[in-house]
């Protein structure tokens, strides 16, 4: 049977509170229902709250948070100038690219655990503040 859609990403953290605050502020993802696992963590949901799209496993020592074979996780975003402004205000380094022939804007930055995050914005988005 072939895969039909992406279900979720899982990230590891040594600081759950900082990680949850980061994803709430920058991606508007918030904790919701999660099975009663024996380890700390959270399942983060988009505003519609239908399905968790990011799982966070906490309580990992900092030296075990190593980058694996997955390079980054990508999400769809809105308000490119607002997002770039927020990153600039908070001193978060970012890389903004435009896909040739498609025009899609790709905004890359890192979470507090050094996981690379990509936000994709429609080609029609303005970049006045980018």
17-61 residue pLDDT tens: 999 999 999 999 999 999 999 999 999 999 888 889 999 999 888
CA–CA separation, 38 and 99 (whole Å): 43
Name the pTM for this structure: 0.84
Helix axes 80-89, 16-27, angle to 10 degrees: 140
Residue 65's pLDDT is 78
Residue 63's pLDDT is 82
- Please report which confidence band the pLDDT of residue 62 belongs to, taking 50, 70 and 90 as the band edges: confident
69-120 residue pLDDT tens: 677 899 999 999 999 999 999 999 999 999 888 999 999 999 998 899 999 9
- What ranges do the domains of the chain cover? 6-61, 72-130
Q: What average pLDDT does the segment 7-12 reach?
A: 88
Two tokens, residue 122: 């429609």
- Please report which confidence band the pLDDT of residue 66 belongs to, taking 50, 70 and 90 as the band edges: confident
CATH number of 6-61: 3.30.720.120
Given a cut of 70, whether residue 129 has pLDDT beyond it is no
Residue 2's pLDDT is 78
Residue 128's pLDDT is 55
**Cβ atoms within 10 Å, residue 70:** 11
Phi, psi of 118 (to 5 degrees): -120, 130
Helix, strand or coil, per DSSP, at residue 75: strand
Q: Which CATH class is domain 72-130?
A: alpha beta
Residue 3 exposure: Cα atoms within 13 Å on the Cβ side: 4
């Amino acid at each position: 049977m072939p895969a039909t859609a992406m279900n979720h990403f899982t990230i590891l953290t040594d600081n759950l509170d900082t990680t949850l605050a980061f994803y709430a502020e920058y991606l508007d993802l918030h904790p919701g229902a999660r099975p009663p696992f024996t380890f700390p963590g959270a399942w983060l949901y988009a505003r519609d709250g239908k399905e968790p799209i990011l799982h966070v496993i906490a309580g990992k020592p900092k030296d075990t948070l190593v980058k694996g074979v997955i390079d980054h996780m990508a999400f769809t975003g809105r308000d490119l100038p607002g997002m770039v402004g927020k990153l600039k205000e908070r001193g978060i380094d970012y890389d903004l690219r435009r896909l040739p022939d498609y025009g899609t804007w790709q905004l890359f930055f890192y979470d507090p655990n050094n996981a690379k995050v990509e936000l994709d914005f429609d080609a029609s988005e303005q970049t006045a503040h980018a």
